[in-house]
Structure 1
């Protein structure tokens, strides 16, 4: 099975453009910046495609998120770290076996606050027309039914 990623970015003009995965990876790894994104927050579509040997690619996952770049055009590491911390904190309530377990009410409140903050800082809620545009740009690939990831 082959798996690969595609990225699309919503430009300030409103246009949806392809962001080559190698350019994203290099900016994320601190190897080469993307000067056009320096100091900006961009709306990013991250798509995961899969294909069986010799089969047609199918869309396995699409995420809409905000991605922050530092003043040089690299992916902002501190914002990425913050997003990860918020993601971890947003699951604090899932570790509780029972709501009456000591600390679970506090964990639930922290998790709710983290989910709200995560949505405000890193969430992009596209309009239905934007979702349709994204699917069209992804060459009309068909959605794969959701299945668990095996590790």
Structure 2
């Protein structure tokens, strides 16, 4: 089985365009910038596809996020660190769900986790409209012969 990634980003006109994974990786690891994204927040679709030898690829996972680039066109490391910290904080109350009696600070953890989830959604979540979802799935399914793609209602 083969697994690979595809990235789509909204360009300035609002169209979804392919961002080759190698270019994204270089901007993420600091080896080559994407000057067209310098200083911008870009709405990005990350898709994981899987397929067997000779089979058409299937979309296994799709996520929608806002990705920040620094003034040089590299993925903004400080924003990425903030996103990771907020993701970790947003899980702080999970221990209370399993063993609330063992943690006297569950109310505090719950407030902290809720605030982190809210901030994470405000800063990093992209909630696409149904038409945008349709466009994403049409584009991801385009390489599959005869695929019409799902329609979101």
- TM above 0.5: yes
Q: Which residue of 1 aligns with 2:60?
A: 60
Pick the aligned partner of 2:108 from 106, 109, 113.
106
Whether 1:120 aligns to 2:122 is yes
Q: Tell me the secondary structure at the aligned position of residue 93 of structure 2.
A: helix
Q: Which residue of 1 aligns with 2:49?
A: 49
CA distance in 2, matches of 1:36, 1:74: 10
- Which structure exhibits the higher relative contact order, with contacts defined as CA atoms closer than 8 Å and separated by 6 or more residues? 1
Q: Which residue of 2 aligns with 1:18?
A: 18
Shift of 1:56: 1.6
CA distance in 2, matches of 1:73, 1:7: 17
Shift of 1:15: 1.0
Q: Tell me the secondary structure at the aligned position of residue 81 of structure 2.
A: helix
Q: Which runs of 4+ in 1 moved over 6 A?
A: none
- Aligned residue pairs total 143
CA distance in 2, matches of 1:53, 1:92: 42
Over aligned residue pairs, what C-alpha RMSD do you find?
A: 1.5
TM-score normalised by length of structure 1 = 0.90
Shift of 1:98: 3.9
Q: Would you tell me which structure has more helix in proportion to its own residues?
A: 2
1:58-97 superposed matches below 5 A: 58-96=58-96, 97=98
Most deviating of 131-140 and 112-121: 131-140
Determine if contact 1:98/1:104 at 8 Å carries over to the other structure: no
